[in-house]
Homo-oligomer: A and B are copies of this chain.
Amino acid sequence: MKPLSDSERAELLAGLDGWSLVEGRDAIRKHFIFDDFNAAFAWMTRVAMVAEKMDHHPEWFNVYRKVDVTLSTHDANGLTRRDIEMAQRMDQFAAGLNEA
């Protein structure tokens, strides 16, 4: 996995909703807030399955209904397409839960 090029970076990051660059590190971050712990952990469980399948695991902090996620590709020492894909999956799953 190669780090994102400058043009990929500009294009792909612009396509993400609510993600921001982490200061001092080539990573992206988003703060998710769900209805309650049940919804937050249900979301984490769906993400965990995908993370394991992709062999690409998030850094995440949870307390009650909040989950703070940081994505970066440790092997590439920075952002790659896998982080973009993971961010998209996380957003899809979160949207699904909010519809309920």
Contact = CB atoms under 8 A, between A and B. Distances in A.
Interface of A: 37-38, 41, 44-45, 48, 51-52, 57-64
Copies per complex of this chain: 2
Contacts of A51: 37
B61 A60 contact: yes
B63 A37 contact: no
A59 B52 CA distance: 22
A78 to B, nearest CB: 16
B57 A64 contact: yes
A64 B52 CA distance: 9
A90 B37 CA distance: 18
Nearest to A65: B57
